Amino acid sequence: MRRALVLGGGGVTGVAWELGILAGLAEQGVDLTGADTVIGTSAGSVVGTRITTGTLAHAYEDQLRPPDGELAAKLGPTTLIKLGVMLARPGEEAAKWRRLGAASAKAHPESPDARREVIRSRIGDPAWPDRDLRVTAVDTDRGAFVVFDRASGVSLLDAVAASCAVPLVWPPVPINGTTYVDGGIRSPANADLAEGCDVVIVLAPGTQALSREHSISRQLARTGATRTLLVAPDPEALKEMGSNVLDPAYRKAAALTGLRQGLTLASEVAEIWG
């Protein structure tokens, strides 16, 4: 039986909430960190890296500390509307992604170095683990969805920086002459990458897809898995996490509410995970 843990996007608070969920589950004896396949998109790429290259306990504890090293930003309604309009226009998906990349580069012509240091403060600069860790991004030069892994010839730090480069908020990330942005513009979780796995559990701080084709429910159906579960923030968690997923001030609260929710969900998750 092959099991996949899919970790979706959701900003600074999403990282904290996912680690809280995992910590709460682990406290109840349900350890998802040993998944055969770990798929990370945006915030999920940070979490996937932390749990496959270090310990869950340490990663969770980091979320409770002051958010030193983070850069405050806002992903508000105006930016979300702009993203939605650009991606809802008629035409090929590849063309939309190329246009979005160009718009993001124009909006943020500054060097991505400062943002890369933020990612380094979250994950360090580890080597790829000897595990099936996959990190998603979008190549805005070709307009192509990309999945980085240990065979890609790209450092894990660069892969995660690319996956976390929210368009119109942070500058695109250049890697080996190619420019990348957040894999979340394709899907909140890219759960279809778990195709072929028997059990798939998705942790998704945000569940709203920018297209019906890439909704989490449709992607889960395409995996062919016999047991699946989507875990999203409950109403209390949504309140505790605040309205701006990129606000580091809510990181600790997001981790604590994730822990609470993980403790509550342990029996349900255990039944699915096996």
182 flagged as catalytic: yes
36 HSE (CA, 13 A, CB side)? 13
Q: Please report the DSSP string for 149-185 in residue order.
A: -TTSSS-HHHHHHHHT--TTTS--EEETTEEEEEGGG
Greater confidence, 112 or 53?
53
pLDDT band at 135 (very low <50, low <70, confident <90, very high): very high
Range of the domain at 55: 10-71+110-273
Catalytic residue (choose from 139, 182, 192, 247):
182
* In-domain check, residue 259: yes
Task: Give one word for 9, left, alpha or beta, with left for phi > 0 and alpha for psi -120 to 50.
Answer: beta
Examine residue 115 and state whether it is found in any structural domain, yes or no.
Answer: yes
Burial class, 85, CB count within 10 angstroms (exposed 0-12 / middle 13-18 / buried 19+): exposed
- Of 84, 118, 80, 86, the C-alpha closest to 103 is 86
User: How confident is the model over 230-267, as pLDDT tens digits?
Assistant: 999 999 999 999 999 999 999 999 999 999 999 999 99
User: 218 CB contacts (<8 Å, ≥6 apart)?
Assistant: 212
Mean pLDDT of 161-172: 96
Q: Is residue 88 part of a domain?
A: no
Alpha-carbon gap, residue 35 to 203, rounded angstroms = 13
Q: How confident is the model at residue 142, as a pLDDT?
A: 97
pLDDT at 59: 98
Summarised one tens digit per residue, pLDDT across range 211-224 is 778 899 999 999 99
Domain for residue 155, yes or no? yes
The predicted pLDDT at position 213 comes to 80
- 85 inside domain: no
Catalytic status, residue 158: no
Nearest of 132, 155, 127, 166 to residue 15 by alpha carbon = 166
Q: How many domains does the chain have?
A: 1
Is 77's pLDDT higher than 80? no
Is residue 58 in a domain? yes
% of the chain beyond a pLDDT of 70: 100
52 pLDDT higher than 90: yes
**Token output for 137:** 């991004």
Q: What pLDDT score does 73 carry?
A: 87
Segment 183-210 mean pLDDT? 95
Q: Which of 42, 45, 104, 163 is catalytic?
A: 42
Mean pLDDT over the full length of the chain = 95
pLDDT classification of 74: cutoffs 50, 70, 90: confident
Is residue 178 within 8 A of residue 158, CB to CB? The reply is no
183: Cα separation from own chain's centroid: 8
Residue 210, pLDDT > 90, answer: no
pTM of the predicted model, to two decimals? 0.96
